[in-house]
Structure 1
Amino acid sequence: MARRETALQAAHGRLRQLIGSEFRSGEKLPNERDLADRLEVSRATVREVLGQLAAEGVVTRTWGIGTFVHDDAERVPVSIGDVTALRDRITATGHRPTLQDASVSRAKCPADCARVLGLEPGSPVWRVDRLFAVDGVPAAWIRDHLPLRFDGRDLDPSGLLSIDLDMFEFLASATGMPVRRAEIELTAVLADDEATERLGVAVGHPLVTATQVGYGTGGAALFHGHITVRTDVLTLRISRGGAPEPAPPAG
């Protein structure tokens, strides 16, 4: 095992040096067979090393198209460590957020959402789909689910069809309970047909998806959502520190 790890490390270093010396940002790399011949290693080793370099952000791999040196064009850093509107996080970096597409509809509550919201699977809920762009480029597709009623109040999320109203702002106004805490779980995924249509990337393009749950006072779950992000447009940043102060209503 140690010998194999050493061989992988050596191949990793040689391939990274090759990329840095012979290829420019955005250029396509030779296929795995040609790289294996140049490095005098197996194709399996090249494939594994390319996977490592993709995870490190050195290259971008797209199924059926090829492997490219990562484009050094600026990506927008967005913090996900607080409960601030995505719109405001993007604006704070000096970029322009827009809402390219949005819809609000009644839907059946998915099982994972039902567990969080304390509902029966298949119960009617609001589904809010929004596609955010940064400087005109599709960047984040957000699908949220929230109950039709909360604490005896009917919820009407139609205002979320405008970028002027954020989910946190809406919930603070509609429920009288601001989102105090958001739990986020990140997963690396490859674009499927629906993500391709929404975000304008090729099938197999690397993406990051985040499952987000927003909690109000007393730990009451207010919404459950999924955020799918193009990391060639946005970078997700998590800041850790001491105990946070109570978060104000987001906005």
Structure 2
Amino acid sequence: MKVLPSKSSDVALLAPERKQVAWQAVQALLEMLERPEFGPTERIPAERDLAEHLGISRMTLRKALQTLIDRGVLERRGNRGTFVTAPGVERPLNTVARKGIAEVVEQAGARPGSKLLYFEQTQASARVAKLLKIQEGDTLLTIRRLRTVDQKPFCIETSYIPAARAPDLVAADLIEGASLYALLLSRYQIEIESDEGTLSIATMNDQEARLLDVEPGTAALVYRGVIFDRQGQPVEYLVSINHPQRVVFKLADSRVNSLHSDH
């Protein structure tokens, strides 16, 4: 006698396929959101149009949309539709760094936070030594912190500071989320004036993805730069790994100069 599979068996057999379809729908939506027209706060197309465009059922589309809403990539606004989530932090790209990220977050009306991940002394590599104008092998203070906005992680920052510029600075000084730049000013009379760096895209490792609460392999906006004091001397080499949905970098006051007046 032929035995028909039970309903539970059918579900077990179909579940992997359904999961694969849902995963593919999420990836298709993420690829769509990378297009120029879908910047922060932009409304995405209606469900019917999206489902037709992606070639999937409305039910599968809704599950994929809910996944991205749960991740904070999208947000529903009542009857107005579904929108790309506004970033939690808008970081200035071409202005001086004297304020520090905590003040930038506060001025946007949000609550900044900081968790010290580690604080240790290391030796400067040839590359970092050149950037900081010190000798290879000189002692560095290596400080790594997880920065948050309204208790949501938005970036991981690693600071490399010549130990000679901040003698006696210890982990306890930063455990309670104190501002590093405020400490440099009050204790060592070092006033941060400017920065010079690059912005690139890199894939997060598993630890970085876990700290920023994203899927492993997610791409991040990475800032690498040298921070200078008012005398133009390098104080810090900074590597900042930024959450791709919670941070945007703002280009301010980029007026066209006379050299480009003929374009």
User: TM over 0.5, yes or no?
Assistant: yes
Deviations 1:105-143 (A, max 9, x none): 111223332111123334321001110111221111000
What's the secondary structure of 1:231's corresponding residue? coil
Q: Does 2:155 match 1:143?
A: no
Q: Does 2:215 match 1:202?
A: yes
- Please name the residue that 2:239 is paired with: 226
Q: Check whether the contact 1:155–1:174 (CA below 8 A) recurs between aligned residues.
A: no
Q: Check whether the contact 2:132–2:226 (CA below 8 A) recurs between aligned residues.
A: no
What's the secondary structure of 1:222's corresponding residue? strand
Task: Return the letter of the residue paired with 2:119.
Answer: V
Give me the identity figure in percent: 14
**Mapped partners of 1:55, 1:168: distance in 2:** 37
- Please name the residue that 1:21 is paired with: none
TM-score with structure 2 setting the length: 0.62
What's the secondary structure of 2:240's corresponding residue? strand
For residue 228 of structure 1, report the CA deviation from its aligned partner.
0.6
Distance 1:110 1:195, change over 3 A: farther
What's the secondary structure of 1:219's corresponding residue? coil
Q: Which residue of 100, 103, 106 maps to 1:85?
A: 100
Q: Does 2:125 match 1:113?
A: no
- Please name the residue that 1:54 is paired with: 34
**Mapped partners of 1:180, 1:108: distance in 2:** 25
Distance 1:224 1:90, change over 3 A: same
Distance 1:195 1:178, change over 3 A: same
Task: Return the letter of the residue paired with 2:146.
Answer: L
Distance 1:115 1:55, change over 3 A: farther
State the aligned residue count.
Answer: 191
Q: Does 2:136 match 1:156?
A: no
Task: Return the letter of the residue paired with 1:136.
Answer: Q
Task: Return the letter of the residue paired with 1:188.
Answer: I
User: What's the RMSD between the two structures over aligned residues?
Assistant: 3.1
Task: Return the letter of the residue paired with 2:157.
Answer: I
**Mapped partners of 1:186, 1:100: distance in 2:** 23
Structure of higher CA gyration radius: 2
For residue 76 of structure 1, report the CA deviation from its aligned partner.
2.0
